[in-house]
Homo-oligomer: A and B are copies of this chain.
Amino acid sequence: MKIRVYYEDTDAGGVVYHSQYLNFCERARSELFFTKGLSPHKENEFFVVKSLQADYIKSAKFADLLDIQTKVIEQKKASLVLSQIILNEKDEILFKMEVQVAYLKNRKPYRIPENILNIF
């Protein structure tokens, strides 16, 4: 998934604000659903972030066109661990993250449906 960096994503340091990389990664996770004609939010069923480990390697700047890549590295009944990396147009890794997401139904852990597992 390609994401352009706009003014709103940057801060007075001239680069992308640190928490914004998490937003980019979340957009990429959501877009995996959208491209399959599914929604990441089905009534009272959706994923939530449980934990994450993030490394900031190089700064993204205004106007950069970023590439966000996502893959599953661990799969359990009601949760996934994903590895996500953000690269710039020169294919330099700017940011990497391992994020554990849990699937909830009515705010309780719930087995991830088959059609959703197939997305990843």
Q: Residues of A with Cβ closer than 8 Å to B? A: 4, 6-8, 10-15, 17-20, 22-23, 26-27, 30-31, 34, 39-41, 46, 48-56, 59, 61-63
- Per assembly, the copies of the chain total 4
Taking CB atoms, residues of chain B closer than 8 Å to A15 are 12
A-B contact pairs, 27 of them (CB 8 A): A4-B31, A4-B34, A6-B27, A6-B30, A7-B12, A7-B13, A7-B26, A7-B30, A7-B40, A8-B17, A8-B19, A10-B12, A11-B11, A11-B12, A12-B41, A12-B62, A13-B41, A13-B46, A18-B48, A19-B19, A19-B22, A19-B23, A39-B63, A41-B63, A48-B56, A50-B56, A54-B54
